[in-house]
Each structure stands twice: as structure tokens, then as C-alpha cells.
Amino acid sequence: MRVISGAYRGLKLNEFAGNEIRPTADRVKESLFNILYDKTYGARVLDLFCGSGNLGIECISRGAAYVDFNDVSPASVKLLKSNLAKLKSAHAYGVSVGDWSAFLRSAKRGYDIVFIDPPYADDCGISALQMLAERSLLNRGGVAVYERDRKFEGSICGLAVSDERKYGRTYLTFLIPEDDA
């Protein structure tokens, strides 16, 4: 797992051992950031189920103004912190350990990019998107990226699906505020 582009291009990130944790593959991440290329610079970003911090660190490398990292697992946050320590200069970010819903309930400002990549076995991503919309935490012009192992079905009041891509077994669904659709 490496940083694809930007100030930290080529930086190897620490990964989890074994197959229990599924980071976003480099090929999927490269395609994702090709889609988001004009949105990351200066963005306020939330990596809600951050794991190793792979996606949020890519945003830092590409000039994001601020990144919030959140994960319920202390082991994930420990790995995230080891990856953040590899960055050579100071960057604006926050790190929290806790349940995704508690994080969203306490959020005070909106985001330009939100990554929702929960464990595939846990279907809480839909609930996270609903809370994101209910609390108006996705800024106008922003995008939420929902990663999972199946096609998105249904709808989220306040959000509209703008695109969906399939990469192997991974689906990326892009949602934007309904007012932007």
C-alpha cells in the first residue's frame, strides 16, 4: 500500500497483517483519485472508517486543507498514527477513536469529501450516509464515496447518486447533495 500522488507520492504505508482487514487496493484508490482529482486540494475531508488512514493520507498528499480520521478500533488508530508519523511536515488533521455514529453526531462542520468504507460484513454504511445527510455534513459541491462489495440500491433522502464504478469485487458509489444534482 502506497501513496499514489502528490507531496508523498511513493510513500509506503504500514498495513495490517493477515486478511481480516481489507484496505482499499492501490488500483481502486488510483481510479478513485482520478475521479476526485479536482476536489482534494484545499478540501475538508472525513475518513470515517479510516483503518490505516490510506484514503485520508492520500488527500493530505494531494493538498487537502484538513482531514478528520475516525475508527472504532484502537489497533487501527495505532496503525494510522504510525502512518501519519511518516509525513515529513505538519498537516492539519484530527484523529479520534470511537463509533462512527458518535463521531457524526458530534461533528460541528461540514466536509467536502467523505469516505465511508466500513467492513463489508457490517452494513452500517447506509446508516452513516443517512446521518451525514440528516445533519447536512456534506458541503455543497461535496461528495461522499461509499465503498462496499455490492451495488448500491435504494436512496438516501438529501443525497443523490452521481456515479457508481465497479473494480473487481469493489463498488464505489459517489453521492452528492440533492441540491447539486
Q: Which of 33, 127, 151 is nearest to 24 (CA)?
A: 33
Name the pairing type of β-strands 93-97 and 66-71: parallel
Q: Has residue 32 got a pLDDT over 70?
A: yes
150 lies in some domain: yes
143 lies in some domain: yes
Residue with cell 496503525: 79
15 lies in some domain: no
18 lies in some domain: no
Query: CATH number, domain at 165?
Result: 3.40.50.150
19 lies in some domain: no
pLDDT band at 181 (very low <50, low <70, confident <90, very high): low
Tell me the C-alpha to C-alpha distance, in Å, between residue 115 and each of 33, 88, 89, 133: 12, 24, 24, 14
Q: Has residue 25 got a pLDDT over 80?
A: no
3 lies in some domain: no
pLDDT in tens, 86-122: 998 788 999 999 999 999 999 999 999 999 999 877 7
- Domain span holding position 54: 26-180
DSSP label at residue 64: -
Mean pLDDT of all residues in the chain?
A: 92
- Do residues 105 and 40 make contact, with C-beta atoms less than 8 angstroms apart? no
Q: What is the pLDDT of residue 122?
A: 77
33 lies in some domain: yes
pLDDT band at 33 (very low <50, low <70, confident <90, very high): very high
- Supply the pTM of this predicted model: 0.94
Number of folded domains in the chain? 1
* Cell numbers found for residue 126: 447506509
